[in-house]
Each structure stands twice: as C-alpha cells, then as structure tokens.
Chains A and B, each alone.
Chain A
Amino acid sequence: MNITLKIWRQKNAQSKGGFKTYPAKDVSPDMSFLEMLDVLNSNLIKSGEEPVHFDHDCREGICGACSLYINGKPHGPLQTTTCQLHMRSFRDGDTITIEPWRARAFPVIKDLVVNRTAFDRIQRAGAFVSINTGGVPDGNAIPISKDIAEEAMDAAVCIGCGACVAACKNASAMLFVGAKVSQFALLPQGHPEKKARVENMVAQMDLEGFGACTNTKACEAECPKSIKITNIARLNREYYSAKVTS
C-alpha cells in the first residue's frame, strides 16, 4: 500500500507546531500502525531529518503509553489502542492525519508526545486505600460478591491513556476519574475513605484544567478498554453524596 501521512511536528512545548506531509511507500497491511511509523522514522533518520517522536512502550494494548489522534479520532478508526491498530484498517492511497492528544491539561512536549502527568496527580489526590504493608486481614476475610467484583474490574481496567480526554469536546477527564472512584466505591476496602477520595480527586481534576462533562458520550465511544459512562454517573452520585453529608 502507498499512504500519505500528514503529521503534526512541533520541536518543543515553546515552539509553534504545524503539519508536515510524508509519503509512506510499500506499506504492508500486516504492519502495525506504529511499525509503519518506525519505518518512516528509519527513513527520516537516514535522510538526515529528525524522527517523529511518539509515545509507545508495551505495544500490546495495556501500558497506555501510545496516544495518537488519527484521522480525528483518538487511537484511530477502531476502538482499541493505537499499538493494536494495523495498516489493514486503511486503504491504498489513503491520507492519514496524525495529531497529538489535544487538551489544555495535556501540553505537547514534542511532536506527538504530550505531558499526561496530570493523571498521576489526580490519582495521588485519593486513588488509594490508606493501609500500610502488612497487618491486613486474610484475603477471604471479607467476601465480595462475584457481580460486585466483576463490576469493579470493569472500571479498574482503565489504562490511563487519556483517549477519553482527547475524544471529549470539553477535554473532560470524568471517565478516567469516574473509573477509579467507581472501583473503590464498589469494593468494601474503599468505603472508609470514599467521601474524602471523591472530593479530593475531583478538586485535583478541576485544578488541572480538565473540562466539565456534558454527557456527549464521546469518551465511552472511544475508550479502548470499553469503560462505560455509568462510571461517570456513579462519580456524580458519590460526589454529591459526599458533599451533602461531609
């Protein structure tokens, strides 16, 4: 396949970026999207240009590092991570536009790499159970119904990639925060600190400059781990209940 790539290039956070067009020739449909970029980079290096910087690591859909905005969609046309997208999802002759995640809270570092440390700071605000190592009860001491455990797991599978923010017209992080709040709200281990947790995490989310949720459900449609917006509903419920009772 022969493809035309329109890629966002930006030297660093301070400089102004812009699109550059590159041809990608003889692309195999079995290549992953990132391998197609590897080949482009190898050619760029050999011709004396700087390679396109992009985040990636595990390349098996679980670390959450890869974060390309492809043809107007986070992670591209499939509901998966960028690293699990293959060139057979495109057609010979296609033009593919690649941009970084766009959100005020995710400033561009270089080319397609953005700074997502805001997510870590939200987690630090309360996404934990305050217990130390050791001195905990036996794993079976508190039974947890299978349904609850499964529902908590549905929320816990979030990989922290930020596609929800990138998909949202408000750059809201409600799905990301909702997933974590839900996991702990569902499990008995999370109950003692549930009020402080949700209040602190939401406060940090606002501080980081993420937008509000207006229920467009774009996050759910693009989440590579299929996290449901019912988690946002639960986040709201937890938040209001904490606010009126604390």
Chain B
Amino acid sequence: MEKLDSKIPEGPLAEKWTNHKFNLKLVNPANKRKYEVIVVGTGLAGASVAASLAELGYNVKSFCFQDSPRRAHSIAAQGGINASKNYQNDGDSTYRLFYDTIKGGDYRSREANVYRLAEVSGNIIDQCVAQGVPFAREYGGNLANRSFGGAQVSRTFYARGQTGQQLLLGAYSALNRQIAVGKVKMYSSTEMLDLVVSDGKARGIISRDLITGKIEAHSAHAVLLCTGGYGNVFYLSTNAKGSNATAIWRAHKKGAFFGNPCFTQIHPTCIPISGSHQSKLTLMSESLRNDGRVWVPKTGRKGLTAKEGSAMSESDRDYFLERKYPSFGNLVPRDVASRNSKMLCDEGKGVGTSGLAVFLDFADAIKRVGKSNIEAKYGNLFDMYAQITGDNPYEVPMMIYPAVHYTMGGLWVDYNLMTTVPGLYALGEANFSDHGANRLGASALMQGLADGYFVLPYTIGDYLATIGWDDKVGTDHPAFNEAMAGVNDRIEKLLSIKGDKTVDDLHRQLGLAMWEYCGMSRNEAGLIKAKQVISDIKSEFWNNLKVPGSEKELNQELEKAGRVADFIELGQLMVEDALDRSESCGGHFREESQTPEGEALRKDVEFAFVSSWEFKGENKIQELHKEKLHFENVKLTQRSYK
C-alpha cells in the first residue's frame, strides 16, 4: 500500500487540477533545451505529446515500429471524440462528462483523473480544429455532434466514420512540423525492446531498427510510453496486427507496476470468424444496434446461413436482448450484449458455419423507414460488411459476434501519469487510468489527446526541474550495456530454438485460452485451468518455436516472436488478476458474483481498489498492491438495464 502514492491533489474536485498545475515546478524556457525526452509510440498520445514537448523546447526522440508515424492504430478509431462543450445547449457540463465516465467505468477509476479528463476535453476540440482537422459541420458552419452510448447528451465530435484517422493526422502534422525544425528526431520502423533503469530512475531505452536489425541504446531524462493496449494477447482482436505490449511489459519487468490487467473491453458488433485462417476481427460501429434487432433461432441451428435465417418465421426466432431487457432492448451496454451473445452460442444456438455468430437484422427497420434511410445512416458499414462477408445486409441479416476491442488496464500511473519508476510515464491506452472497468464509446481518443496535449506537458516539468539536467547517464553506462546484452541474448535465443511451431500457431493457442477462460465471463475453475494451459504454451514456446531468418535484416517472424513471448507472460498476469477480483464489474464478469437474475454484481466494499501488480522476478508470483479508490463526489450505484 505504502508503495503507491497516487499524488491526487487536495481540495475540491473542480479545483484540483488548477491548483496542482500551479504547485508543479516549472523548467525555465531557456533550460528546456538541456533536457531530452524519449517518446515511444506515435498514436494520439505519442504524437501529441512529442509535438507538444518539442514546441515547449525539449529535445524529443520519437519511436514507432510502423514505417510511418501516421500508421499508429489510433488511426482506426471510427466513432468520435467526446467533449463537454455543451454546443448543443442540452445540459452538458464538465461535471456531467465526469459523471458519465466514472459511472460508465463502473466506479473503478479515480475521481480526480476523470474530472481532469472532462475538464480539458473542450481544449482538445479547439486544438484539433486549429490544426485543420475537418470535423463534421452543421449548415451554419458550426461543429456538429452526435450521440453515443452511455450518455444522454450529444457531445461526440466526429469526422465521418474516420475520426481517429483525422485526429491522428492532425497530431502527425504537429509532429512533422517539429521533426522539420529538428526538435524531434524521428525513428520509424524502430521497436523498443527494453527500458534502461539505473539508480531507480528511467534512463533510456534499447531499440531495434526493424530494417537493418541494428540494436541501439538511447538515453534521456525521461521516457514516455504511449504504446497502446494489449488486446492482441487474445490473438484475434480489433487491434492492428502489430499492436503489442512489449514496451509496457519490459517496463513492468523493470519495476513499473501493472494496473488492472484483467480489465478488457469486448465489443459486441464485430464481423464473425470465417475459419481457422482468421487473422483479425473487424469492428462495426455499435450505432448499428440503434436499428438492428439481435436474434438467434429458438432451437440450435449451427450452420444456418443468413439467407436461410431471413426466411425463418418470426415464431422461430428469439430476440433475446429484447426478451431479457425490455426497457433497453438491443441498446444494452457493450458488456451485456456481448455476454448474452456468447452465452447463447455456447448453448449451441449460434448460427453460421462456426456456430459463433448471432443475427443482427435490419428487415424491420428497412420496412419501417425505407432502404434509403438505412443507407444514408449506415451505408458505409453495410458496404464494408458486404465486402468482407459477401452477404448483402439489405437483403439478409448480418451476422455478428463479440471481439476484444480495448484494454482498460495498463501501467499504473499517478496523477502526473508517472509510473512507479521515476522518470517513466505512460499515456493513453498504455496506462490504466480514467476508464475504470469499462470504457465509454468516444472516450479513448479523448484520453489519448488529453494526456498528450494537456496533461503530460505540465506534469513532466515537475520531475525534470526536480532532478535537474545533469541527472542523466550516457549510453556507455553499465545499465545500458546490461540491457543491451539482455536484448541480444533474447533475440539469439528466439532464433536458436529451431523447433517446429510457428509464432502464429502458439499465439493462436494463447488467444483461445484467454478467450475461453479470461474473456467475457470468467470463473475460478476456468481461471485456474488457464494458468496451467498458458504455462504449457509458454514452455512449448521456448522449446519448440521456429523463427526463420537472421536478426540482421527485416525479419517479421522475429518481431512477432518477441511480442508473443511478452503476450504470454502478460496473459498469465491477466489471469492472476481476474482470479483475485472475485466480483463482477464493467468488462469483467465473474460468474460467482451475480444477482439472482444473472446480472453482474459489483462488490464495492471489498473491491473498490485498483489492483497494481509488482514484478518479483522470472517465474515468481507477482505481488499485488491495492490502491483504494475514494468516492467523495459520486454515489456508487449498481447498473440495471431491465
């Protein structure tokens, strides 16, 4: 307990951030150029913070594994970004956005962090508009808003279904400007493979140039990890193929505590798996549930095609969400919709060749408002669906199935976004803060940019001013040599196993185990079993892996192998955390903790804490530290959607 100081400022909620900013130490403008900062990742958090720090005068080194910073996976976010601008005059406010977010997170996040997020949300929109982000507009020329799940006001700003892309390209343009003036040195196609720590402080990183294979050491006064989430532990997810947890996992093993690893968000409306070759899952906006009706046949019909489904009579259909949740119907929150779909498929009522799909049917909506209205609303999504599946959703029902989408857990950070390793920060999805046990739609973009533009640039000054610019070690320091040797050893080991399983084979096995036992619905027996299964996969990995090629060239298999090695260990921690949290909350449903009606039962007395895990050595049990959550402004209530 004593190891975790959240550094939440004193005072009333609405004044905390303002007071805190005033109390933070500053670095004199002339001295900023004496500091170097490493930023890993160029998504919304990484690109925005690298640009902002460079504008302030710091020297920044920015790293991304993609060939261009513009390809970071923030680019794929569809829906929008929340901000409490109250442009619609519908009663929005900082407090309302704060309240919705903390309630949506099922009361497992910090009040102070979430309030700050709401407080700076409006600045984000202003900043993006000034960069030339082409947000959707009304006829009068003002910014347009749409509504989104979990809120009763319209506060979501958007750029068609490509909001993440446009916001990222805005941050990328700011980053480019700083690269052009030489304040940011950009390392594309370069992956961070270890964190360097000496005297208890983060001192730099070890990286690998993915094209030449060159291992390099980089030193700095502070290291910022903006490397996104770890949904790819599940192999199949809506993440990009390259999205990985290596940076945060290496940092965890060097002393950064890991917060709430078991909190994963599963999105209900993804395109189902079409076969064992499946490599990724594609998300379709949950706005589809506004008009689509979710159903399965009353009696199990595995193999049923969409065409056969559309011919099925009403009396043979079970609209299970409408039946179980009459007041919310098809619009129940993500976790409830996902869990119910999986439950029915597990009972053998799923459709499609895999039996792992439910119907999302627009026939009634088309009858009610006409095809042209549906086309205007969802045209691009229908086209995308037709492209991927070959079915025409205007004529036959869609098939959908839940998929891993976002990880609320991540490195534990204090109010300043600093991890438990001084000088090491985590921003965006890479940290655990702000979303609690469940993230609301259109909040990920908000958090990434809030951290990068408006939080970290203030808080980092306090640390840098405290240590001073002399407190930096060179890359000739023994800590760098040691970390570099470790990285080289590991690469050599991966290449020397020469077994007969590919990285993907083992990654798929890991994903299946995680999905089965640590997915939407978890129980003690399953989680205990998962520990064994993953441990077997780990031993198979290190004894029977096959990685062709050499380390001195572009070697995509080697890249994947290093990432999967870390996913396996992170998977073990996720299971450990899920076992410990024997309550249901947000995206984490523990079967032992449910109401008589079968709904999630949260246990606030026992579990209103952030679980924060400390690495204690290879193959040792990690130590759990609990950061108690204090709620002084909101009243904790159980969710009900009946």
Contacts and interface: CB of A to CB of B under 8 A. Distances in A.
Interface of A: 11-12, 28-32, 34-36, 38-39, 42, 45-46, 48-51, 53, 55-65, 80, 84, 86, 88, 109-110, 113, 115-117, 119-120, 123-125, 127-134, 136-140, 142-146, 149-150, 152-153, 156-157, 159-160, 183-184, 187, 189-190
Contact of B125 (A113, A127, A139): A139
A189 B548 CA distance: 50
Contact of A86 (B51, B70, B177, B388): B388
B457 interface: yes
26 contacts: A28-B275, A28-B277, A30-B274, A31-B274, A38-B504, A49-B548, A55-B67, A58-B71, A59-B240, A60-B76, A60-B280, A60-B283, A65-B71, A86-B390, A125-B180, A129-B131, A133-B453, A133-B454, A134-B453, A136-B130, A137-B126, A137-B130, A146-B138, A146-B141, A150-B137, A153-B160
B127 interface: yes
Given A30-B390, A145-B137, A134 B123 contact: yes
A34 B241 CA distance: 12
A149 B136 CA distance: 7
Given A64-B70, A125-B180, A133-B52, A30 B275 contact: yes
B176 interface: yes
A120 B553 contact: no
A150 B180 CA distance: 29
Contacts of B240: 57-59, 63
B68 A35 contact: no
Nearest to A52: B556
Contacts of A160: 68, 70-71
A127 B143 contact: no
B100 interface: no
B509 interface: no
Interface in B175-207: 176-177, 179-180, 186, 188
B62 to A, nearest CB: 12
A39 B211 CA distance: 23
B307 to A, nearest CB: 15
Nearest to A60: B282
Contact of B134 (A59, A123, A127, A152): A152
B85 interface: yes
A29 B418 CA distance: 49
A237 B125 CA distance: 31
Contacts of A125: 180
Contact of B502 (A46, A50, A58): A46
A160 B188 CA distance: 15
B548 A116 contact: no
B490 to A, nearest CB: 20
Contacts of B216: none
Contacts of B173: 123, 127-129
Contacts of B390: 29-30, 86, 88
Given A62-B162, A123-B176, A129-B130, A140 B548 contact: no
Contacts of B126: 136-139
Contacts of A150: 134, 137
B275 A139 contact: no
A117 B131 contact: no
Interface string B140-184: 111100000000000000011010011001001110110110000
A89 to B, nearest CB: 10
A11 B553 CA distance: 9
Contacts of B277: 28, 31, 35-36, 38-39
Contacts of A153: 134, 136, 159-160, 166
B132 A184 contact: yes
Contact of A48 (B165, B454, B548): B548
Nearest to A133: B52
Contact of B71 (A42, A64, A152, A156): A64
B373 interface: no
B70 A128 contact: no
B179 to A, nearest CB: 5
A133 B68 contact: no
Contact of A119 (B66, B68, B162): B68
A168 to B, nearest CB: 20
A103 to B, nearest CB: 15
Contacts of A157: 160, 162, 165
B22 interface: no
A125 B48 CA distance: 19
Interface string B317-354: 00000000000000000000000000000000000000
A115 B132 contact: no
Contact of A128 (B137, B177, B549): B177
B306 to A, nearest CB: 13
A128 B553 contact: no
Given A57-B242, A140-B143, A133 B55 contact: yes
Contact of B556 (A53, A116, A133): A53
A116 B454 CA distance: 32
A62 B75 contact: yes
Interface in B278-332: 278-280, 282-283
Interface string B79-93: 000000101000000
B54 to A, nearest CB: 10
B134 A131 contact: no
B179 A189 contact: no
Nearest to B123: A134
The winner among A80, A133, A143, A145 for most chain B CB atoms within 10 A is A133
Given A128-B176, A129-B173, A38 B279 contact: yes
B132 A189 contact: yes
B165 A62 contact: yes
Given A64-B71, A133-B457, A156 B134 contact: yes
A45 B387 contact: no
8 tightest A-B CB contacts, nearest first: A143-B141, A136-B130, A128-B173, A30-B274, A149-B137, A152-B134, A153-B134, A133-B52
A133 B174 contact: yes
Contacts of A50: 548-549
Interface string B118-129: 000011011111
B134 A62 contact: no
Given A12-B553, A35-B277, A60-B76, A30 B67 contact: no
A12 B554 CA distance: 8
A51 to B, nearest CB: 6
A168 B317 CA distance: 53
B76 A124 contact: no
Nearest to B282: A60
A181 to B, nearest CB: 12
A63 B548 contact: no
Given A45-B546, A129-B130, 5 more contacts: A12-B553, A38-B504, A58-B71, A58-B73, A157-B165
Contacts of A29: 390
Contact of B241 (A53, A56, A146): A56
B73 A143 contact: no
Interface in B426-476: 453-454, 457
B367 to A, nearest CB: 29
A153 to B, nearest CB: 4
B135 interface: yes
Contacts of A124: 176-177, 179-180
